[in-house]
Structure 1
Amino acid sequence: MVKKFFCFAAGAMLFCGCSNVIDRDTVADYAPPAEAVAMRDSAAGARMMKVSNSMAVVSESTSGFFQQGSRMMAYTAGFTLTVKSKDKALDELKTLAEKLGGYLVSSARGNMQIKIPVNKADEFLKTSGSYGKLSDFRISAEDLTDTITDLGVRLDNLRKLRTRLTELLAKAKNVDEMLKVERELNRITTEIERMDAQLQNNKNRVDFVTFDVAVIEEHGVLPTGTPQAVNQFKFLKNLSSALVGDEDEPCFGLALPENFVAVREGRLQSDSFAATTSDDCIFRTWEVDVPDDSSLNFWENMVCRALTTLHAYSNVKTFPAELNGKKAVKITAELTTSGGVQHYMAVISVKPSCGDDELRIVEFFGPEAAFAKHEKAVNAVLSK
């Protein structure tokens, strides 16, 4: 009897493992939107639909991005939110998510991942836009209808097989038969648990939209300086940029940090030098003539203010430092973007000279991981 049973089990498992056993007539008729048809007909988009929208589109539409119909679609969306107070916006987004029946998955340095019920996703998007300036909106949708249906059919067959195994276990005539049936029963039970977890995960992806939100602070609050004062010094707009310089080597007698390569083609800025790494870190040295009655403390405040008001950096900090053996200031900051966190460091000093003084600026910035990789080499150059 056990031998006959295993022939039956093998046939049942073969049926369970086939994804083409589904009766397609059981799936309701569905007329996909034009975007989905276009993606379906392309070689790269058979099962994924992607849409990118500008701020204008988001603000004009209160619903319709997250369609619910006969197909089981898993939506992933994201946007950048520029606000006056990052901490306040983070709290507001978390509270809004909970109010709508969603929850916070993770939050780090202004980057949040939030799950929102699909029927509340458009409301979440609209309300989030009221907290600040919403931009870089993006959305993608994956059709999980076949996947979920297949899993459901296979689970149903496995559960029927488990019931049959349980019945056979009760009828086993000896210990050997009992052990064989128990071994198969354990294997089938493990497979059911694994497949059920996979099914629930896919259903969760359909029921909840995953939002990746980058919150950027519009400007920080510093003790001195105003945006109007910052605008009087046009060169401050060149902070944290990759403008190529006209010098062949770093200014101020500094060495080129390890793993950096000089960039000598493109737009030129006089009295400056620029170099890059293969993982997108930038090292710049440049100098600007400034009035001889301005102090290092004044330029410390102006650079900090420019980073926050002109370049959207946050978490700006200052530290005492030296450059070429002279008193200097080290400035660090962070910039949160939809692509991740960018770290920034600058060392500035003022060199007195006949007529105007010289403001010396050394900058180093790049993606978080790359910045950490090259920071030691840059600090080594600055300490010499």
Structure 2
Amino acid sequence: MEIKRTVFIITSVAILSGCAVNKPTEQSSSYAGSKMIESEESRPNQRRAYENDSENTRRIVIYDASIKIVVKIPDSTNVKLAETALKYDGYVQTLGNKKSILRVKSDKLQSAIADISSLGKVKDKTISGNDVTDQFVDYQIRLDNARNARKRYLELLARAETVEAALKVEKELERLNGDIDSLEGKITQLKHLSEYSTITVLMEEKVKPGILGYIGIGLYESVKWIFVRN
């Protein structure tokens, strides 16, 4: 009788242990098996709100100027061009015998062009402006959305209950950080290009006449003097 009782107890424990081992572990997670999607406001509404802000009404325009001049000595002209760039709070981008590029403060562009025009005989001059306000606003809205999404993902990461959920959030954060860095770079570039105008100076060296050339010039001046005197 005692032996049967012992066998019954051992059998019961084994059955209960098996049930405990085979019972699935339940763990609630709001991340596992679900795809996390960034929630963004309607971009047109954001654009209107952004443009209605008085601080964002300034148009962002990138100005580029090109001037072609005939000079005696290109090297000497380049020295003057460098001085002009510094004079108008700018800098030299490239200097060459035929082409030089300067950057000056946009509000001083006209004054800089006037100084450059005095360095030689102007053969051609153009100034163009490119309004990039819409592009700038679009970048800014996308940047704001990306930053807001990053905040939400950081909150989700703090509440992640499994390694799998944490890895999913970290992957999205890595993507968002890349987008944010890219957008910040584009915005910075547009701001810089609008703050500093580009001036491209094309230089043509003045042709020096040879011996025969000087003789021809002398004859021309002599004939001109005779007719003018008479």
**Partner amino acid, structure 2, of 1:229:** I
Can you list the C-alpha shifts for 1:44-99, whole angstroms capped at 9, x where unaligned? xxxxxxxxxxxxxxxxxxxxxxxxx9311111110112122211111110121023
The separation in 2 between residues aligned to 1:157 and 1:118, in whole angstroms, is: 31
Q: Decide whether aligned partners of structure 1 residues 19 and 199 sit closer, same or farther in structure 2, where only a CA change above 3 A counts.
A: farther
SS at match of 2:94: strand
Q: What corresponds to 1:150 in structure 2? A: 138
- 1:147 offset after TM fit, Å? 0.9
Q: What corresponds to 1:103 in structure 2? A: 91
Q: Tell me, yes or no, if structure 1 residue 70 matches structure 2 residue 58.
A: yes
Q: More strand by proportion, 1 or 2? A: 1
Q: What corresponds to 2:31 in structure 1? A: 2
Q: Decide whether aligned partners of structure 1 residues 194 and 19 sit closer, same or farther in structure 2, where only a CA change above 3 A counts.
A: farther
The share of aligned pairs that are identical, in percent, is 26
Query: Gaps (5+ residues) in structure 2?
Result: 1-29, 220-230
SS at match of 1:22: helix
Superposition RMSD in Å: 2.7
The separation in 2 between residues aligned to 1:226 and 1:19, in whole angstroms, is: 72
Q: Tell me, yes or no, if structure 1 residue 217 matches structure 2 residue 214.
A: no
The separation in 1 between residues aligned to 2:99 and 2:135, in whole angstroms, is: 31
In the TM superposition, 1:1-80 aligns within 5 A as 1-2=30-31, 6-7=36-37, 9=38, 11-12=39-40, 15=41, 18=43, 21-23=46-48, 26=52, 70-80=58-68
In the TM superposition, 1:63-212 aligns within 5 A as 70-212=58-200
Larger Rg: 1 or 2? 2
Contact 1:110 1:215 in 2 (8 A): yes
TM-score scaled to structure 1, two decimals?
0.44
Q: Decide whether aligned partners of structure 1 residues 5 and 160 sit closer, same or farther in structure 2, where only a CA change above 3 A counts.
A: farther
- 1:134 offset after TM fit, Å? 2.2
- 1:213 offset after TM fit, Å? 0.8
**Partner amino acid, structure 1, of 2:36:** F
Which of 199, 214, 221 in structure 2 is aligned with 1:228? Answer: 214
**Partner amino acid, structure 1, of 2:149:** L
Can you list the C-alpha shifts for 1:346-380, whole angstroms capped at 9, x where unaligned? xxxxxxxxxxxxxxxxxxxxxxxxxxxxxxxxxxx
The separation in 2 between residues aligned to 1:227 and 1:151, in whole angstroms, is: 60
Q: Decide whether aligned partners of structure 1 residues 116 and 20 sit closer, same or farther in structure 2, where only a CA change above 3 A counts.
A: farther
The separation in 2 between residues aligned to 1:115 and 1:122, in whole angstroms, is: 12
In the alignment of these two chains, the number of paired residues is 187
Q: Larger relative CO (CA 8 A, sep 6+): 1 or 2?
A: 2
Contact 2:75 2:97 in 1 (8 A): no
Runs of 4 or more consecutive aligned structure 1 residues displaced over 4 Å after TM superposition: 230-233
Contact 1:90 1:215 in 2 (8 A): no
